[in-house]
Amino acid sequence: MPVKASHNSSLAPSTDGPAVKRTKSLRQASGRKPGAQAGHVGRTRRLASDVDEVVRYEPDECNYCKAPLTTSEALTDEMRQVIELPEIKLRVVEHRAIVKRCSKCGRATKANFPKEVPATLQYGARLQAVAVYLLEYQLLPYERTCRLMREMLGCEIAPCAVSNIVSK
- Residue 75 makes CB contacts below 8 A (sequence gap 6+) with none
Predicted confidence band of residue 7 (pLDDT cuts 50, 70, 90): confident
Q: Give the H or E element holding residue 101.
A: strand 99-101
pTM over 0.75: no
Query: Comparing 97 with 36, which gets the higher pLDDT?
Result: 97
The predicted model gives 124-135 an average pLDDT of 96
What average pLDDT does the structure give for the chain?
91
3-state percent helix, strand, coil for the chain, nearest multiple of 5:
20, 5, 75
pLDDT reading at 159 higher than 80: yes
Domains in the chain: boundaries: 118-167
Q: How many CA atoms lie within 13 A of 167 on its CB side?
A: 7
Predicted confidence band of residue 1 (pLDDT cuts 50, 70, 90): low
Query: Comparing 147 with 2, which gets the higher pLDDT?
Result: 147
Q: What pLDDT does residue 12 have?
A: 84
pLDDT reading at 3 higher than 80: no
